[in-house]
Chain A
Amino acid sequence: MIALDGIRKLHLDPVQPPVFDGISLRIAEGETCGLCGPGASGKSLLLKIICGLVRPEHGTVEVAGRDLGLASPDELRSIQSRIGYLFQNNALFDSMTVQENVAFPLRQRLRLGQEALDEQQILARVSESLRGVGLATHAAKMPSQLSGGQRKRVALARAVVARPPLLIYDEPTAGLDPVTTAKIYDLLGTEQKLTKSTTLIVSSDIDALRRFSDRMLMVYRGRLCYDGPSADMDESASPVVRQFVRGELEGPL
Protein backbone atom coordinates (compact mmCIF):
# COMPACT_ATOMS: atom_id res chain seq x y z
CA MET A 1 0.00 0.00 0.00
CA ILE A 2 2.75 2.43 0.98
CA ALA A 3 6.32 2.25 -0.27
CA LEU A 4 8.93 4.88 0.58
CA ASP A 5 12.40 4.72 -0.91
CA GLY A 6 15.38 6.77 0.17
CA ILE A 7 13.40 9.76 1.35
CA ARG A 8 15.51 12.81 2.05
CA LYS A 9 13.94 16.07 3.18
CA LEU A 10 15.87 19.20 4.07
CA HIS A 11 14.87 21.26 7.06
CA LEU A 12 13.07 24.58 6.48
CA ASP A 13 15.88 26.21 8.39
CA PRO A 14 18.98 25.63 6.24
CA VAL A 15 21.43 25.54 9.16
CA GLN A 16 19.68 22.51 10.69
CA PRO A 17 20.48 18.97 9.56
CA PRO A 18 17.96 17.38 7.16
CA VAL A 19 14.74 16.20 8.80
CA PHE A 20 14.93 12.89 6.90
CA ASP A 21 18.09 11.39 5.55
CA GLY A 22 17.28 8.18 3.74
CA ILE A 23 14.05 6.64 4.99
CA SER A 24 12.75 3.52 3.25
CA LEU A 25 9.74 1.60 4.38
CA ARG A 26 6.95 -0.64 3.14
CA ILE A 27 3.49 -1.04 4.60
CA ALA A 28 1.34 -3.81 3.19
CA GLU A 29 -2.35 -3.58 2.49
CA GLY A 30 -4.50 -4.06 5.58
CA GLU A 31 -1.60 -3.64 7.98
CA THR A 32 -1.76 -1.55 11.16
CA CYS A 33 1.37 0.36 11.95
CA GLY A 34 2.35 2.67 14.81
CA LEU A 35 4.87 5.47 14.34
CA CYS A 36 6.67 7.08 17.25
CA GLY A 37 9.67 9.26 17.92
CA PRO A 38 10.79 12.14 20.10
CA GLY A 39 9.24 15.60 19.63
CA ALA A 40 10.07 17.42 16.39
CA SER A 41 11.64 14.29 14.93
CA GLY A 42 9.43 14.70 11.87
CA LYS A 43 6.54 12.31 12.50
CA SER A 44 3.93 14.70 11.17
CA LEU A 45 6.15 15.63 8.26
CA LEU A 46 6.57 11.95 7.31
CA LEU A 47 2.78 11.53 7.25
CA LYS A 48 2.47 14.58 5.01
CA ILE A 49 5.11 13.20 2.66
CA ILE A 50 3.18 9.92 2.44
CA CYS A 51 0.05 11.85 1.50
CA GLY A 52 1.78 13.98 -1.10
CA LEU A 53 1.14 17.21 0.80
CA VAL A 54 4.89 17.80 1.08
CA ARG A 55 7.39 16.73 -1.57
CA PRO A 56 10.74 15.27 -0.52
CA GLU A 57 13.91 16.49 -2.27
CA HIS A 58 15.04 12.93 -2.93
CA GLY A 59 13.43 9.54 -2.99
CA THR A 60 10.14 8.15 -4.20
CA VAL A 61 6.77 7.82 -2.53
CA GLU A 62 4.37 5.18 -3.76
CA VAL A 63 0.80 4.94 -2.50
CA ALA A 64 -1.56 2.30 -3.81
CA GLY A 65 0.92 1.49 -6.55
CA ARG A 66 1.19 5.07 -7.86
CA ASP A 67 4.36 7.14 -7.70
CA LEU A 68 3.22 10.46 -6.22
CA GLY A 69 6.16 12.34 -7.75
CA LEU A 70 5.02 11.37 -11.25
CA ALA A 71 1.26 11.68 -10.76
CA SER A 72 -0.61 14.48 -12.50
CA PRO A 73 -2.48 16.97 -10.28
CA ASP A 74 -5.78 15.22 -11.02
CA GLU A 75 -4.37 11.78 -10.19
CA LEU A 76 -2.78 13.12 -7.01
CA ARG A 77 -6.13 14.56 -5.97
CA SER A 78 -7.93 11.30 -6.53
CA ILE A 79 -5.27 9.40 -4.53
CA GLN A 80 -5.50 11.93 -1.72
CA SER A 81 -9.26 11.71 -1.57
CA ARG A 82 -8.87 8.00 -0.81
CA ILE A 83 -6.84 8.72 2.31
CA GLY A 84 -8.48 9.56 5.61
CA TYR A 85 -6.22 11.97 7.48
CA LEU A 86 -6.63 13.12 11.07
CA PHE A 87 -4.48 16.22 11.45
CA GLN A 88 -2.54 16.86 14.63
CA ASN A 89 -4.37 20.16 15.14
CA ASN A 90 -7.67 18.78 13.78
CA ALA A 91 -7.86 21.31 10.90
CA LEU A 92 -11.64 21.53 11.12
CA PHE A 93 -13.14 24.04 8.70
CA ASP A 94 -14.02 27.06 10.86
CA SER A 95 -16.73 28.30 8.56
CA MET A 96 -18.77 25.07 8.59
CA THR A 97 -20.85 23.36 11.24
CA VAL A 98 -19.81 20.02 12.68
CA GLN A 99 -22.21 18.24 10.38
CA GLU A 100 -20.96 20.05 7.28
CA ASN A 101 -17.39 19.30 8.28
CA VAL A 102 -18.06 15.59 8.49
CA ALA A 103 -20.13 15.58 5.32
CA PHE A 104 -17.45 17.45 3.35
CA PRO A 105 -15.31 14.46 2.28
CA LEU A 106 -18.44 12.58 1.17
CA ARG A 107 -19.72 15.52 -0.84
CA GLN A 108 -16.36 15.96 -2.54
CA ARG A 109 -16.13 12.27 -3.38
CA LEU A 110 -19.58 12.50 -4.84
CA ARG A 111 -18.42 15.42 -6.95
CA LEU A 112 -15.34 13.49 -8.10
CA GLY A 113 -17.60 10.58 -9.03
CA GLN A 114 -16.01 8.19 -6.53
CA GLU A 115 -19.18 7.65 -4.58
CA ALA A 116 -22.81 7.37 -5.56
CA LEU A 117 -24.84 8.67 -2.66
CA ASP A 118 -27.86 10.90 -2.44
CA GLU A 119 -28.27 13.65 0.13
CA GLN A 120 -30.29 11.36 2.43
CA GLN A 121 -27.58 8.73 2.48
CA ILE A 122 -24.89 11.31 3.11
CA LEU A 123 -26.76 12.64 6.13
CA ALA A 124 -27.28 9.10 7.40
CA ARG A 125 -23.57 8.32 7.09
CA VAL A 126 -22.67 11.57 8.83
CA SER A 127 -24.93 11.00 11.79
CA GLU A 128 -23.74 7.42 12.05
CA SER A 129 -20.16 8.67 12.16
CA LEU A 130 -20.97 11.34 14.71
CA ARG A 131 -22.80 8.81 16.86
CA GLY A 132 -19.67 6.66 16.70
CA VAL A 133 -17.62 9.39 18.33
CA GLY A 134 -20.42 10.26 20.75
CA LEU A 135 -21.23 13.68 19.36
CA ALA A 136 -24.59 13.06 17.70
CA THR A 137 -26.19 15.92 19.61
CA HIS A 138 -23.56 18.47 18.56
CA ALA A 139 -24.14 18.26 14.81
CA ALA A 140 -25.39 21.83 14.40
CA LYS A 141 -22.63 23.52 16.42
CA MET A 142 -19.63 25.36 15.01
CA PRO A 143 -16.20 23.88 15.76
CA SER A 144 -15.25 26.94 17.83
CA GLN A 145 -18.03 26.08 20.29
CA LEU A 146 -16.54 22.68 21.11
CA SER A 147 -13.86 21.65 23.59
CA GLY A 148 -10.47 20.47 22.40
CA GLY A 149 -11.29 16.80 22.88
CA GLN A 150 -14.64 17.15 21.13
CA ARG A 151 -12.93 18.81 18.18
CA LYS A 152 -10.50 15.94 17.98
CA ARG A 153 -13.41 13.51 17.84
CA VAL A 154 -15.15 15.49 15.09
CA ALA A 155 -11.90 15.44 13.12
CA LEU A 156 -11.76 11.69 13.64
CA ALA A 157 -15.31 11.30 12.37
CA ARG A 158 -14.41 13.36 9.30
CA ALA A 159 -11.35 11.20 8.63
CA VAL A 160 -13.23 7.90 8.72
CA VAL A 161 -16.62 8.90 7.29
CA ALA A 162 -15.76 8.05 3.70
CA ARG A 163 -14.35 4.63 4.72
CA PRO A 164 -11.08 5.20 2.87
CA PRO A 165 -8.71 2.29 2.21
CA LEU A 166 -5.84 4.14 3.91
CA LEU A 167 -6.24 5.83 7.29
CA ILE A 168 -3.65 8.11 8.81
CA TYR A 169 -4.01 9.42 12.34
CA ASP A 170 -1.69 12.08 13.74
CA GLU A 171 -1.98 12.03 17.54
CA PRO A 172 -5.58 10.80 17.79
CA THR A 173 -5.48 10.79 21.58
CA ALA A 174 -3.32 13.77 22.51
CA GLY A 175 -4.95 15.79 25.27
CA LEU A 176 -7.69 13.26 25.96
CA ASP A 177 -8.40 11.55 29.30
CA PRO A 178 -7.66 7.80 29.67
CA VAL A 179 -11.28 6.70 29.28
CA THR A 180 -11.78 8.71 26.11
CA THR A 181 -8.44 7.43 24.85
CA ALA A 182 -9.60 3.87 25.36
CA LYS A 183 -12.87 4.71 23.60
CA ILE A 184 -11.01 6.23 20.67
CA TYR A 185 -8.79 3.18 20.25
CA ASP A 186 -11.85 0.99 20.49
CA LEU A 187 -13.38 3.06 17.72
CA LEU A 188 -10.25 2.83 15.58
CA GLY A 189 -10.31 -0.92 16.09
CA THR A 190 -13.92 -1.38 14.99
CA GLU A 191 -13.32 0.92 12.03
CA GLN A 192 -10.29 -1.13 11.05
CA LYS A 193 -12.16 -4.43 11.31
CA LEU A 194 -15.07 -3.06 9.35
CA THR A 195 -13.18 -1.62 6.41
CA LYS A 196 -9.95 -3.68 6.47
CA SER A 197 -8.15 -0.43 5.79
CA THR A 198 -4.43 0.12 6.10
CA THR A 199 -3.82 2.21 9.20
CA LEU A 200 -0.87 4.35 10.25
CA ILE A 201 -0.97 6.00 13.67
CA VAL A 202 1.34 8.54 15.26
CA SER A 203 1.08 8.86 19.00
CA SER A 204 3.16 9.91 21.98
CA ASP A 205 1.14 7.55 24.18
CA ILE A 206 3.43 4.71 23.30
CA ASP A 207 1.92 2.01 25.54
CA ALA A 208 -1.58 2.39 24.12
CA LEU A 209 -0.11 2.50 20.65
CA ARG A 210 1.83 -0.72 21.15
CA ARG A 211 -1.24 -2.45 22.47
CA PHE A 212 -3.19 -1.41 19.40
CA SER A 213 -0.79 -2.07 16.55
CA ASP A 214 1.37 -5.11 15.87
CA ARG A 215 4.09 -3.27 14.05
CA MET A 216 5.99 -0.24 15.28
CA LEU A 217 8.21 2.29 13.54
CA MET A 218 10.41 4.86 15.23
CA VAL A 219 12.11 7.88 13.64
CA TYR A 220 15.14 9.47 15.22
CA ARG A 221 17.66 11.90 13.73
CA GLY A 222 16.35 11.51 10.20
CA ARG A 223 16.37 7.73 10.10
CA LEU A 224 14.09 4.84 10.95
CA CYS A 225 15.76 3.44 14.04
CA TYR A 226 13.15 0.78 14.67
CA ASP A 227 10.90 -1.18 12.35
CA GLY A 228 9.52 -4.40 13.74
CA PRO A 229 6.93 -6.07 15.96
CA SER A 230 5.68 -3.96 18.87
CA ALA A 231 6.41 -6.70 21.36
CA ASP A 232 10.13 -6.72 20.58
CA MET A 233 10.66 -3.02 21.17
CA ASP A 234 11.81 -3.51 24.78
CA GLU A 235 14.55 -5.87 23.71
CA SER A 236 15.70 -3.85 20.72
CA ALA A 237 19.41 -3.72 20.02
CA SER A 238 19.32 0.06 19.85
CA PRO A 239 19.76 1.86 23.18
CA VAL A 240 17.75 4.81 21.82
CA VAL A 241 14.68 2.66 21.24
CA ARG A 242 15.00 0.94 24.62
CA GLN A 243 15.31 4.23 26.44
CA PHE A 244 12.39 5.73 24.52
CA VAL A 245 10.07 2.82 25.20
CA ARG A 246 10.91 2.61 28.88
CA GLY A 247 10.87 6.37 29.34
CA GLU A 248 14.18 6.44 31.22
CA LEU A 249 16.13 9.60 32.01
CA GLU A 250 19.55 8.05 31.49
CA GLY A 251 20.59 7.24 27.96
CA PRO A 252 21.53 8.57 24.54
CA LEU A 253 18.31 10.57 23.97
Chain B
Amino acid sequence: MKSQRALTSWAASLRTQATQLGQIAMLVCVGAVRARRPKGELLRQLYQVGNRSLLFVLVTLGFTGMVLVFQSCLQLSRVTGDLSQVGGEFIKYLVHEFGPSLTAMMLATRVGAGIAAEIGSMVVTEQVDALRMCGVEPVEYLLVPRFLATLAMTLLLAVFGVLSAVMMGAFTAHQTFHVPYSVFLDLSKVKLPDVLTGCIKALSYGAAIPIVSGFCGLRTHGGSEGVGWATTRAVVSSSFAVIVLDFLISALALLSWQSM
Protein backbone atom coordinates (compact mmCIF):
# COMPACT_ATOMS: atom_id res chain seq x y z
CA MET B 1 0.00 0.00 0.00
CA LYS B 2 2.61 2.44 1.15
CA SER B 3 5.07 1.52 -1.58
CA GLN B 4 2.27 1.79 -4.10
CA ARG B 5 1.52 5.32 -2.99
CA ALA B 6 5.21 6.21 -3.11
CA LEU B 7 5.40 4.83 -6.63
CA THR B 8 2.36 6.83 -7.73
CA SER B 9 3.74 10.07 -6.35
CA TRP B 10 7.11 9.31 -7.91
CA ALA B 11 5.47 8.73 -11.27
CA ALA B 12 3.48 11.95 -10.90
CA SER B 13 6.60 13.99 -10.11
CA LEU B 14 8.37 12.35 -13.04
CA ARG B 15 5.53 13.40 -15.29
CA THR B 16 5.52 17.02 -14.14
CA GLN B 17 9.28 17.15 -14.57
CA ALA B 18 9.07 15.69 -18.05
CA THR B 19 6.38 18.23 -18.92
CA GLN B 20 8.49 21.09 -17.61
CA LEU B 21 11.53 19.86 -19.50
CA GLY B 22 9.44 19.66 -22.64
CA GLN B 23 8.10 23.17 -22.12
CA ILE B 24 11.59 24.55 -21.64
CA ALA B 25 12.84 22.75 -24.74
CA MET B 26 9.92 24.21 -26.71
CA LEU B 27 10.52 27.72 -25.43
CA VAL B 28 14.21 27.49 -26.21
CA CYS B 29 13.64 26.22 -29.73
CA VAL B 30 11.01 28.85 -30.46
CA GLY B 31 13.22 31.54 -28.95
CA ALA B 32 16.22 30.38 -30.95
CA VAL B 33 14.28 30.74 -34.16
CA ARG B 34 12.60 34.02 -33.31
CA ALA B 35 15.99 35.65 -32.82
CA ARG B 36 14.93 38.58 -30.65
CA ARG B 37 17.93 38.68 -28.36
CA PRO B 38 20.67 41.18 -27.68
CA LYS B 39 23.58 40.62 -30.04
CA GLY B 40 26.42 40.95 -27.53
CA GLU B 41 25.08 38.26 -25.26
CA LEU B 42 25.47 35.49 -27.83
CA LEU B 43 29.07 36.48 -28.52
CA ARG B 44 29.79 36.58 -24.81
CA GLN B 45 28.33 33.10 -24.36
CA LEU B 46 30.22 31.74 -27.37
CA TYR B 47 33.40 33.03 -25.81
CA GLN B 48 32.46 31.66 -22.39
CA VAL B 49 31.63 28.18 -23.64
CA GLY B 50 34.37 27.94 -26.20
CA ASN B 51 37.27 29.59 -24.51
CA ARG B 52 36.74 28.09 -21.10
CA SER B 53 36.52 24.56 -22.49
CA LEU B 54 39.05 24.52 -25.31
CA LEU B 55 42.12 23.58 -23.31
CA PHE B 56 40.13 21.11 -21.22
CA VAL B 57 38.83 19.32 -24.32
CA LEU B 58 42.23 19.33 -26.02
CA VAL B 59 43.96 17.79 -23.01
CA THR B 60 41.37 15.13 -22.21
CA LEU B 61 40.83 14.09 -25.81
CA GLY B 62 44.57 14.08 -26.43
CA PHE B 63 45.19 11.72 -23.56
CA THR B 64 42.28 9.52 -24.61
CA GLY B 65 43.75 9.34 -28.10
CA MET B 66 47.02 8.16 -26.63
CA VAL B 67 45.32 5.49 -24.53
CA LEU B 68 43.18 4.20 -27.36
CA VAL B 69 46.05 3.93 -29.82
CA PHE B 70 48.31 2.36 -27.24
CA GLN B 71 45.72 -0.25 -26.32
CA SER B 72 44.82 -1.13 -29.90
CA CYS B 73 48.46 -1.37 -31.00
CA LEU B 74 49.26 -3.53 -28.01
CA GLN B 75 46.38 -5.91 -28.66
CA LEU B 76 47.02 -6.09 -32.38
CA SER B 77 50.76 -6.62 -32.04
CA ARG B 78 49.94 -9.62 -29.85
CA VAL B 79 47.46 -11.06 -32.36
CA THR B 80 48.60 -10.24 -35.90
CA GLY B 81 51.46 -7.82 -35.68
CA ASP B 82 50.12 -5.79 -38.58
CA LEU B 83 49.74 -2.22 -37.40
CA SER B 84 49.11 -0.57 -40.76
CA GLN B 85 45.32 -0.51 -40.30
CA VAL B 86 45.32 0.97 -36.81
CA GLY B 87 45.47 4.61 -37.86
CA GLY B 88 42.63 4.45 -40.36
CA GLU B 89 40.31 2.54 -38.07
CA PHE B 90 41.18 4.78 -35.17
CA ILE B 91 40.38 7.95 -37.07
CA LYS B 92 37.13 6.49 -38.36
CA TYR B 93 36.14 5.45 -34.86
CA LEU B 94 37.11 8.83 -33.50
CA VAL B 95 35.00 10.69 -36.03
CA HIS B 96 31.77 8.78 -35.65
CA GLU B 97 31.93 7.91 -31.98
CA PHE B 98 34.65 8.90 -29.59
CA GLY B 99 35.34 12.46 -30.68
CA PRO B 100 31.83 13.86 -30.30
CA SER B 101 30.82 11.68 -27.35
CA LEU B 102 33.84 12.31 -25.18
CA THR B 103 33.89 16.00 -26.02
CA ALA B 104 30.25 16.14 -24.98
CA MET B 105 30.93 14.25 -21.75
CA MET B 106 33.57 16.83 -20.93
CA LEU B 107 31.27 19.71 -21.88
CA ALA B 108 28.50 18.23 -19.76
CA THR B 109 30.70 18.70 -16.72
CA ARG B 110 32.24 21.98 -17.77
CA VAL B 111 29.40 23.82 -19.49
CA GLY B 112 26.45 22.02 -17.95
CA ALA B 113 27.63 22.66 -14.43
CA GLY B 114 28.42 26.26 -15.32
CA ILE B 115 24.97 26.93 -16.74
CA ALA B 116 23.22 25.35 -13.77
CA ALA B 117 25.40 27.19 -11.25
CA GLU B 118 24.86 30.54 -12.93
CA ILE B 119 21.12 30.22 -13.43
CA GLY B 120 20.68 28.54 -10.05
CA SER B 121 22.29 31.38 -8.18
CA MET B 122 20.14 33.82 -10.15
CA VAL B 123 17.09 31.88 -9.01
CA VAL B 124 17.97 31.89 -5.32
CA THR B 125 18.85 35.60 -5.35
CA GLU B 126 15.46 36.30 -7.03
CA GLN B 127 17.11 37.73 -10.14
CA VAL B 128 14.99 35.41 -12.27
CA ASP B 129 11.85 36.81 -10.63
CA ALA B 130 13.19 40.30 -11.26
CA LEU B 131 13.55 39.42 -14.95
CA ARG B 132 9.92 38.30 -15.00
CA MET B 133 8.84 41.56 -13.41
CA CYS B 134 10.52 43.44 -16.24
CA GLY B 135 8.36 41.51 -18.69
CA VAL B 136 11.15 39.16 -19.77
CA GLU B 137 10.71 35.43 -20.21
CA PRO B 138 13.69 34.01 -18.26
CA VAL B 139 13.95 30.85 -20.32
CA GLU B 140 14.22 32.84 -23.49
CA TYR B 141 16.48 35.52 -22.08
CA LEU B 142 18.91 33.27 -20.21
CA LEU B 143 18.80 29.97 -22.00
CA VAL B 144 18.55 30.81 -25.69
CA PRO B 145 22.02 32.42 -26.00
CA ARG B 146 23.54 29.57 -23.97
CA PHE B 147 21.71 27.05 -26.12
CA LEU B 148 22.95 28.52 -29.38
CA ALA B 149 26.48 28.94 -28.05
CA THR B 150 26.69 25.38 -26.76
CA LEU B 151 25.21 24.01 -29.97
CA ALA B 152 27.83 25.71 -32.09
CA MET B 153 30.70 25.12 -29.71
CA THR B 154 30.08 21.41 -29.20
CA LEU B 155 30.49 20.86 -32.90
CA LEU B 156 33.56 23.06 -33.11
CA LEU B 157 35.19 21.64 -29.99
CA ALA B 158 34.49 18.10 -31.20
CA VAL B 159 36.48 18.92 -34.32
CA PHE B 160 39.33 20.26 -32.20
CA GLY B 161 39.07 17.25 -29.91
CA VAL B 162 39.32 14.85 -32.84
CA LEU B 163 42.34 16.71 -34.16
CA SER B 164 44.03 16.62 -30.78
CA ALA B 165 43.31 12.91 -30.32
CA VAL B 166 44.58 12.10 -33.82
CA MET B 167 47.77 14.03 -33.25
CA MET B 168 48.48 12.46 -29.89
CA GLY B 169 47.53 9.03 -31.25
CA ALA B 170 49.86 9.38 -34.20
CA PHE B 171 52.61 10.51 -31.86
CA THR B 172 52.09 7.50 -29.57
CA ALA B 173 52.02 5.06 -32.46
CA HIS B 174 55.18 6.58 -33.84
CA GLN B 175 57.07 6.67 -30.57
CA THR B 176 56.15 3.34 -28.99
CA PHE B 177 55.30 1.12 -31.97
CA HIS B 178 57.26 2.83 -34.77
CA VAL B 179 54.24 3.30 -37.02
CA PRO B 180 55.22 6.01 -39.55
CA TYR B 181 53.03 9.12 -39.57
CA SER B 182 52.21 8.64 -43.24
CA VAL B 183 50.80 5.18 -42.56
CA PHE B 184 48.94 6.20 -39.44
CA LEU B 185 47.25 9.29 -40.85
CA ASP B 186 45.11 7.34 -43.27
CA LEU B 187 41.86 9.16 -43.99
CA SER B 188 40.55 6.72 -46.59
CA LYS B 189 38.47 4.79 -44.08
CA VAL B 190 36.42 7.83 -43.06
CA LYS B 191 33.27 7.78 -45.16
CA LEU B 192 30.39 10.21 -45.43
CA PRO B 193 28.14 8.23 -43.04
CA ASP B 194 30.84 8.46 -40.37
CA VAL B 195 31.10 12.21 -40.68
CA LEU B 196 27.33 12.52 -40.73
CA THR B 197 26.88 10.35 -37.65
CA GLY B 198 29.55 12.36 -35.84
CA CYS B 199 27.94 15.68 -36.72
CA ILE B 200 24.46 14.51 -35.77
CA LYS B 201 25.80 13.28 -32.46
CA ALA B 202 27.65 16.51 -31.70
CA LEU B 203 24.60 18.62 -32.54
CA SER B 204 22.23 16.52 -30.45
CA TYR B 205 24.56 16.64 -27.47
CA GLY B 206 25.02 20.35 -27.96
CA ALA B 207 21.26 20.81 -27.84
CA ALA B 208 20.66 18.45 -24.92
CA ILE B 209 23.32 19.76 -22.53
CA PRO B 210 22.10 23.38 -22.18
CA ILE B 211 18.43 22.42 -22.08
CA VAL B 212 18.90 19.77 -19.40
CA SER B 213 21.22 21.90 -17.27
CA GLY B 214 19.10 25.00 -17.70
CA PHE B 215 16.13 22.97 -16.51
CA CYS B 216 18.10 21.89 -13.44
CA GLY B 217 19.19 25.46 -12.78
CA LEU B 218 15.69 26.90 -13.04
CA ARG B 219 14.37 24.33 -10.58
CA THR B 220 16.82 25.45 -7.89
CA HIS B 221 15.40 26.27 -4.51
CA GLY B 222 16.86 26.90 -1.07
CA GLY B 223 20.00 28.99 -0.68
CA SER B 224 23.61 28.17 -1.43
CA GLU B 225 23.03 24.49 -0.75
CA GLY B 226 20.31 24.50 -3.40
CA VAL B 227 22.75 25.88 -5.97
CA GLY B 228 25.17 23.06 -5.17
CA TRP B 229 22.43 20.49 -5.56
CA ALA B 230 21.30 21.97 -8.86
CA THR B 231 24.86 21.92 -10.19
CA THR B 232 25.25 18.29 -9.20
CA ARG B 233 21.99 17.34 -10.83
CA ALA B 234 22.93 19.18 -13.99
CA VAL B 235 26.23 17.30 -14.33
CA VAL B 236 24.63 13.91 -13.78
CA SER B 237 21.58 14.52 -15.94
CA SER B 238 23.42 16.03 -18.87
CA SER B 239 26.15 13.34 -18.81
CA PHE B 240 23.43 10.73 -18.73
CA ALA B 241 21.63 12.42 -21.58
CA VAL B 242 24.86 12.21 -23.59
CA ILE B 243 25.25 8.49 -22.84
CA VAL B 244 21.66 7.70 -23.80
CA LEU B 245 21.78 9.82 -26.96
CA ASP B 246 25.05 8.14 -27.92
CA PHE B 247 23.43 4.74 -27.62
CA LEU B 248 20.31 5.76 -29.52
CA ILE B 249 22.09 7.46 -32.39
CA SER B 250 24.67 4.68 -32.67
CA ALA B 251 21.91 2.10 -32.80
CA LEU B 252 20.02 4.09 -35.43
CA ALA B 253 23.18 4.53 -37.48
CA LEU B 254 23.94 0.82 -37.27
CA LEU B 255 20.42 -0.17 -38.30
CA SER B 256 20.23 2.29 -41.17
CA TRP B 257 23.62 1.17 -42.38
CA GLN B 258 22.54 -2.43 -42.35
CA SER B 259 19.49 -1.69 -44.43
CA MET B 260 21.49 0.25 -46.98
User: Does chain A touch chain B in the assembled complex, meaning CB atoms less than 8 Å apart?
Assistant: yes
Please list the residues of chain A having a beta carbon within 8 angstroms of any beta carbon in chain B. Answer: 12, 48, 51, 53, 73, 77-78, 80-81, 83-85, 87-89, 91-94, 104-105, 108-109, 111-112, 114
Q: Within 8 Å CB of A105, what residues of B?
A: 134-135
Q: Within 8 Å CB of A114, what residues of B?
A: 135
Are the CB atoms of A85 and B127 closer together than 8 Å?
no
Interface centre among A51, A85, A91, A92 (most CB of B within 10 A): A91
Q: Within 8 Å CB of A89, what residues of B?
A: 125-126
B130 CB within 8 Å of chain A:
yes
Q: Which chain A residue has the least Cβ–Cβ distance from B128?
A: A91
Interface centre among B122, B126, B127, B133 (most CB of A within 10 A): B133
- Shortest Cβ distance from A10 into chain B, in angstroms? 15
Contact of A83 among B126, B127, B133, B221 (CB under 8 A): B133
Are the CB atoms of A53 and B135 closer together than 8 Å?
no
Interface centre among B122, B130, B221 (most CB of A within 10 A): B130
Question: In the bound complex, what is the Cα–Cα distance between A157 and B130 (angstroms)?
Answer: 13
Among B191-220, those with CB < 8 Å from A are none
Are the CB atoms of A108 and B125 closer together than 8 Å?
no
Are the CB atoms of B136 and A108 closer together than 8 Å?
yes
**Chain B, 109-146, contact with A by CB distance < 8 Å: what is the 0/1 string?**
00000000000001001110110111111000000000
- Shortest Cβ distance from B223 into chain A, in angstroms? 11
Are the CB atoms of B135 and A112 closer together than 8 Å?
yes
5 smallest beta-carbon distances between A and B, as pairs: A81-B135, A91-B126, A91-B130, A85-B133, A108-B134
Are the CB atoms of B127 and A94 closer together than 8 Å?
yes
Q: Within 8 Å CB of B137, what residues of A?
A: 73, 77
Q: Within 8 Å CB of B135, what residues of A?
A: 77-78, 80-81, 105, 108-109, 112, 114
| Interface range on chain B (Cβ under 8 Å from partner) | 10 to 19
Q: Within 8 Å CB of B221, what residues of A?
A: 12
Question: In the bound complex, what is the Cα–Cα distance between A85 and B136 (angstroms)?
Answer: 14
Are the CB atoms of B136 and A87 closer together than 8 Å?
no
Contact of B129 among A53, A77, A108 (CB under 8 A): A53
Q: Which chain A residue has the least Cβ–Cβ distance from B221?
A: A12
Q: Within 8 Å CB of B125, what residues of A?
A: 89, 91, 94
**Chain B, 32-51, contact with A by CB distance < 8 Å: what is the 0/1 string?**
00001000000000000000
- Shortest Cβ distance from B154 into chain A, in angstroms? 23
Question: In the bound complex, what is the Cα–Cα distance between A55 and B212 (angstroms)?
Answer: 24
Question: In the bound complex, what is the Cα–Cα distance between A239 and B137 (angstroms)?
Answer: 44
Q: Which chain B residue has the least Cβ–Cβ distance from A77?
A: B135
Are the CB atoms of A80 and B132 closer together than 8 Å?
yes
Interface centre among B36, B122, B127 (most CB of A within 10 A): B127
25 pairs, A vs B, C-beta closer than 8 Å: A12-B221, A48-B129, A53-B129, A77-B132, A77-B135, A80-B132, A80-B134, A80-B135, A81-B133, A81-B135, A83-B133, A87-B130, A88-B126, A89-B125, A89-B126, A91-B127, A91-B129, A92-B127, A92-B130, A93-B130, A104-B134, A108-B134, A109-B135, A111-B36, A114-B135
Q: Within 8 Å CB of A83, what residues of B?
A: 133
Are the CB atoms of B134 and A81 closer together than 8 Å?
yes
Are the CB atoms of A87 and B126 closer together than 8 Å?
yes
Q: Within 8 Å CB of B130, what residues of A?
A: 85, 87, 91-93
Are the CB atoms of A53 and B127 closer together than 8 Å?
no
Question: In the bound complex, what is the Cα–Cα distance between A120 and B135 (angstroms)?
Answer: 22
Question: In the bound complex, what is the Cα–Cα distance between A252 and B36 (angstroms)?
Answer: 55
Q: Within 8 Å CB of B133, what residues of A?
A: 51, 53, 80-81, 83-85
Question: In the bound complex, what is the Cα–Cα distance between A109 and B133 (angstroms)?
Answer: 11
Given contacts A89-B125, A91-B125, A91-B127, contact A53 B132 (CB under 8 A): yes
Question: In the bound complex, what is the Cα–Cα distance between A160 and B130 (angstroms)?
Answer: 13
Question: In the bound complex, what is the Cα–Cα distance between A80 and B136 (angstroms)?
Answer: 9
